[in-house]
Amino acid sequence: MTDTSYDRAPGDESAPLETEESGSSGLLVYSIGLLLSLILTATSFWAANTTLLWEPGIPLGLAVLAVAQMGIHLVFFLHITTGPDNTNNVLALAFGMLIVTVVVTGSLVIMTNLNDNLMPPAELMHMQR
């Protein structure tokens, strides 16, 4: 079983279909990805600005929509799949996510630490001479 067509990203150039329609199918795949991205973006703006949803659940809903948006971009635009020919791409993506997580977490820790250590206590701020 050497056929790996089971794990192909939409619009993958290495697909066995080598016809005249391959150029138009690439445009179709990118158009579908764009449409899905626009729908998820509009849904995120609606969820953030509506009063119809349960307010404590909105951040979780926005996080779910953000993860879905990332998935759309990875599959439709970056063509990242779990196939054997994409191992390097997946490892590079995982390493990039690790670096971004370390940088964001470190920045938040540093900013919190600086805020706690540089601000004078509230009692000192309101002292009268």
User: What was the pLDDT predicted at 58?
Assistant: 93
Residues 34, 38, 39, CA angle at the centre, nearest 5°? 120
Q: What integer pLDDT is reported at residue 79 of this predicted model?
A: 86
Q: Which single residue is written with the structure tokens 């009692």?
A: 123
CB 72 within 8 A of CB 40: yes
pLDDT of residue 4: 53
**83's torsion region: left (phi>0), alpha (psi -120 to 50) or beta?**
beta
Band the pLDDT of 86: cuts 50, 70, 90. confident
Q: Which residue has the higher pLDDT, 84 or 98?
A: 98
Residue 30 CB coordination number (10 Å) = 14
Identify the helix (H) or strand (E) that includes residue 58: helix 58-72
CA distance 111 to 90: 31
For residue 18, pLDDT over 50 is answered with: no
More confident of the two residues 117 and 16? 117
Mean pLDDT of the chain: 82
CA 56, 99, 103, 108 torsion: positive or negative? positive
Angle between helices 58-72 and 22-49 (to 10 degrees): 170
| Tens-place pLDDT, residues 27-56 | 999 999 999 999 999 999 999 999 999 999
- Integer CA distances (angstroms), 126 to 16, 116, 117, 118, 119, in order: 74, 18, 18, 16, 13
